[in-house]
Amino acid sequence: MTGGRITVDDQAVIRALQRLRARVGDLRPALEDMGEYLLRAHDQRFDRQRAPDGSPWAPLSPRYRKRKAKARPRAGILEREGHLRRLAWQVAGEDLLLGTATVYGATHQLGQEKRGQIYFF
């Protein structure tokens, strides 16, 4: 995976994982289930064109919408070739990593720095 990394530090989640580890020992099966759930949730959000918080994605600019309609008339927002829709997860120790192998995936999440400014797409 390339690009950025988002780390969530939520003490309630950490405590819940510690309790789970104490009960079952190996967290890997639970993390694998979480990875699969996140893939399904991501796919549903793509279908609905919604952010994780439920807000709609920003519409395409009129100029790009016109250009895209010629190349991929049925493609939704963020779906020209379908690369951003394809996420993968992996468990590394007690960490669940979720992301895309697409280089520009981080740009869509974090923006792109150019000449000291950040541009969001």
Q: Higher confidence at residue 6 or residue 77?
A: 77
Q: Where are the domains of the chain?
A: 11-119
Q: Higher confidence at residue 40 or residue 3?
A: 40
Query: Can you give the pLDDT at residue 114?
Result: 61
pLDDT digits (tens, 9 = 90+) for 82-95: 788 888 999 998 88
pLDDT band at 120 (very low <50, low <70, confident <90, very high): very low
pTM for the model stands at 0.69
pLDDT digits (tens, 9 = 90+) for 34-81: 999 999 999 999 889 998 888 998 888 899 888 888 888 878 888 877
Q: Are 41 and 50 in contact (CB under 8 A)?
A: no
Q: Which residue has the tokens 């379908």?
A: 82
User: Residue 38 contacts by C-beta under 8 Å, 6 or more apart in sequence?
Assistant: 87, 89, 96, 98
